[in-house]
Amino acid sequence: MHQIFDAALEINLLHANQEGADHNREHFDRWGITCLNVMSSPGAGKTALLERTLAALRRELKIAVIEGDMTTELDAERLRQYQVPVIAINTGRSCHLDSKMVSGGIHRFAQDYDPAEFDLVLVENVGNLVCPAEFEVGEHAKVALLSVTEGEDKPLKYPVMFQEADCLLITKIDLAPYLEVDFNQIMANVRQMNPHVTIIPVSTKTGEGLEAWFEWVRSQTNKLRLAAPVSTVH
């Protein structure tokens, strides 16, 4: 009986979250803003990737960041150094952002800026390999990161994240020569979970692979460039 109740509750929660995500996406679509949901385990390099992305693209694209963390604004402060709007959301004990949290961030953003002037919102989700992939926030695409330091088995042990990803960045590849890790096996395991995902190996330390990532981001923003902008939130 408890299992049936728990399953029904989870379905209802996911349904309510999906409705909120669809509403968030409607705002992004009307504004012509592309939203990317960036997800990974803690320490895979999300913030470092966003730092390099902002440094490279902030003069080419008008970018804002919604930064999710459980208790601090440490990552948000790192990103604010790039002179872009950064909306920090503390989730408390929750291991992921949900659509309601991001909706609150959208409203805070729209109070201080004209959203129609922006091209891209990057959502840095809470570090977790499970929950963020199950809760959409209104994104147009999901970006997952997997560090070579995490080993080959993570795509098999935590399949949802990799099945849902539109783009997968294999990070910290500069460390691969020093680890007992089979890079080809990582790729094979990812492909087993998601044959069609775009895979980009990168190093934020050396810069290897970053231009391919920047080009992928550009390709995503181009999809909504012709959307009709509005400047109000309902």
**35 three-class SS:** strand
> Domains along the chain?
2-224 (3.40.50.300)
Backbone angles phi, psi at 52, to 5 degrees: -65, -35
Average pLDDT, the chain: 92
pTM of the model: 0.91
**Both structure tokens of 182:** 């089979």
Tell me the pLDDT tens digit for each residue of 140-186.
999 999 999 999 999 999 999 999 999 999 999 999 999 999 999 99
Average of per-residue pLDDT across 85-114: 96
* pLDDT of 227 over the 80 cut: no
* pLDDT of 232 over the 80 cut: no
* Residues 6 or more apart in contact with residue 21 via CB below 8 angstroms: 99, 135, 136, 137, 138, 139
* pLDDT of 31 over the 70 cut: yes
Confidence class for position 5, pLDDT limits 50, 70, 90: very low
Per-residue model confidence (pLDDT) at position 59: 96
